[in-house]
Amino acid sequence: MGAAFFPCLIFTAFWGFVGVVLPILVPKGPNREIIRVVLMLTAATCWGFWVCCYMAQMNPLIGPKMTNNTILMVMREWGDAVPT
């Protein structure tokens, strides 16, 4: 299982728009540069958070929970010695 192409493209394009295009469209004013920095930092951090959450779903750290009977059956089928 790998990353799907379209979700990565859509979210990257969206946050790219927020971080690249919107700062260009900010009207002139005393806080123009601050608004630009806020938009760029927001886009970068939100995209990074989305990427981390998306990739964490590809290889979860928590595995399936098995009962004792299932574990003993797997050990017997795979050839491991079953503890007594």
Stretch 30-58: mean pLDDT: 94
Q: Tokens for 19, please give them.
A: 């971080």
pLDDT for res 50: 95
Are 58 and 3 within 8 A, CB to CB?
yes
CA 44 – CA 1 distance, rounded (Å): 26
Q: Tokens for 43, please give them.
A: 């886009």
* pLDDT tier for residue 65 given thresholds of 50, 70 and 90: confident
Q: Is 23 helix (H, G, I), strand (E, B) or coil?
A: helix
Domain extents in the chain? 5-78
Q: Is 77 helix (H, G, I), strand (E, B) or coil?
A: helix
pTM over 0.75: no
